[in-house]
Amino acid sequence: MKSPLLSLPGAVPGEGPDEGVAAHYGDLFREQRALADGTGFVDLSHRGVVTVTGADRLSWLHLLITQHVSELPPGQATEALILSTHGHIEHALYIVDDGETTWAHVEPDSQGDLIAYLESMKFFYRVDIADRSDDYAVVHLPAGSITEAPEDTVVRETPHGRDLFLPRARLTDFAEASGPAIGVLAYEALRVEAHRPRVGLETDHRTIPHELGWIGSAVHLQKGCYRGQETVARVQNLGKPPRRLVFLHLDGSEVTLPSHGAPIRLASEGEEGRQLGFITSSARHHELGPIALALVKRNVPVDAELIADSTAAAQETVVEP
């Protein structure tokens, strides 16, 4: 779905999973600084929007997702995962309930598969599931923003800012009243800085929540009764995950950033050494320079100097080995 805000001056279209919205509007670092200072907004209208209504919506969702939501108060934001039977991450849902409807935004173009799974689990529960992506656009206001949400807009407020479920027909008017518009590359750079994982980038077909630090924030350990719970409990109680998320400071003298999937090796072994992991996300930060997140084998020493492709990388621990 192509955002109408791509017609704003200076807009450069995003690529990959962020196709359909602006990567930036002509000045990446200025946009990052504005976002970090709590000004402007980010167009995330390419993300999927799913709603669940009905009297049983919270108790039913509680049985399917990794988060405790059976008594979720109206207006309280939370996040949750849907796992495979083997405990591998399939979806991340960013949730708020308004007292009548549970709203969630998800990765672009993933809502179809998510809804198909949810529909298959309805059984006798009083719930209705809908894809509202054509009707509602997600807009992000950074932490500290004094911009007021339009009246009757559903708001999901977190420490990182507010996500608005804005009627799509009002997106252009909102942009005119609430600028400056900030591209998704600035949003992604601050996400990487904050070590926040993203499905499809930090995950592959075998990623489990422990590897990304999602235990606690998206996975509630005091509840069961969801698909994949056995793996979560077994790893939490009896073992360690096979991989761990790390934050990387990259060599700033390189012209290009290592791309998603770029191999991670020990610097001492060079570019022909054993692959120990891969880059999941990389970004140019307005203060830190080039940075990245990577998934590496758990036994990689926390003080080891690494290379991503040919780029030197110093690691910071995100998930303890």
Mean pLDDT of the chain: 97
Let me know how long the chain is. 321
Tell me, yes or no, whether 54 and 43 share the same domain.
no
- Return the pLDDT at 1: 81
Nearest to 54 by CA among 111, 100, 119: 100
Q: Rounded CA gap, 47 and 163, in Å?
A: 11
Q: What is the DSSP letter of 233?
A: H
Tell whether the model's pLDDT for residue 264 goes beyond 90: yes
Q: Partners of 93 in the beta sheet?
A: 80
Tell me, yes or no, whether 256 and 284 share the same domain.
yes
Q: Partners of 182 in the beta sheet?
A: 42
Tell whether the model's pLDDT for residue 252 goes beyond 90: no
- Return the pLDDT at 255: 83
Tell whether the model's pLDDT for residue 253 goes beyond 90: no
Tell me, yes or no, whether 96 and 160 share the same domain.
no
- Return the pLDDT at 294: 98
Tell me, yes or no, whether 36 and 146 share the same domain.
yes
Residue type, 186: A
Would you say residue 221 lies in a domain? no
Tell me, yes or no, whether 60 and 120 share the same domain.
yes
Question: Which residues lie closer than 8 Å to 52 by C-beta, 6 or more apart?
Answer: 60, 61, 101, 102, 104, 118, 127, 128, 129, 130
Domain that holds residue 285: 242-320
- Give me the mean pLDDT over the 285-308 stretch: 97
For CA atoms 207, 200, 155, 159, give the dihedral sign.
positive
pLDDT greater at residue 252 or residue 172: 172
- Give me the mean pLDDT over the 118-143 stretch: 97
Judge whether 189 and 32 are in contact, CB under 8 Å: yes
Tell me, yes or no, whether 9 and 34 share the same domain.
yes
φ, ψ (nearest 5 deg) of residue 308:
-110, 110
Tell whether the model's pLDDT for residue 224 goes beyond 90: no
pLDDT in tens, 168-204: 999 999 999 998 999 999 999 999 999 999 999 999 9
Tell me, yes or no, whether 139 and 107 share the same domain.
no
Would you say residue 55 lies in a domain? yes
Nearest to 7 by CA among 238, 172, 174, 127: 172
pLDDT in tens, 4-20: 999 999 999 999 999 99
CATH at residue 69:
3.30.70.1400
Q: Widest CA span of the chain, in angstroms?
A: 60
Tell me, yes or no, whether 160 and 116 share the same domain.
no
- Return the pLDDT at 225: 86
Give me the number of domains the chain comprises: 3
- Choice among 118-122, 243-247, 253-257, 283-287 with the minimum mean pLDDT: 253-257
Question: How many C-beta atoms lie closer than 10 Å to residue 297's C-beta?
Answer: 14
pLDDT in tens, 145-172: 999 999 999 999 999 999 999 999 999 9
Q: What is the DSSP letter of 4?
A: G
For CA atoms 30, 31, 34, 40, give the dihedral sign.
positive
Tell me, yes or no, whether 55 and 176 share the same domain.
no
Judge whether 103 and 79 are in contact, CB under 8 Å: no
φ, ψ (nearest 5 deg) of residue 6:
-70, -10
Q: Residues of the chain with pLDDT > 90: what percent?
A: 96
- Return the pLDDT at 179: 85
Tell me, yes or no, whether 99 and 139 share the same domain.
no
Rounded to 5 degrees, what angle do the CA atoms 116, 65, 103 make? 70
For residue 142, name the pLDDT band (cuts at 50, 70, 90).
very high
Judge whether 188 and 281 are in contact, CB under 8 Å: yes
- Return the pLDDT at 242: 96
Would you say residue 203 lies in a domain? no
Question: How many C-beta atoms lie closer than 10 Å to residue 169's C-beta?
Answer: 11
- Return the pLDDT at 168: 97
The string over 195-213, giving b where at least 16 C-beta atoms fall within 10 Å of a residue's C-beta and e elsewhere, is bbbbbbbbbeeebbbbbbb
- Return the pLDDT at 251: 95
- Return the pLDDT at 84: 98
Question: How many C-beta atoms lie closer than 10 Å to residue 239's C-beta?
Answer: 9
Q: Residues of the chain with pLDDT > 70: what percent?
A: 100
Nearest to 51 by CA among 116, 114, 163, 128: 128
- Return the pLDDT at 148: 95
Q: Rounded CA gap, 3 and 43, in Å?
A: 8
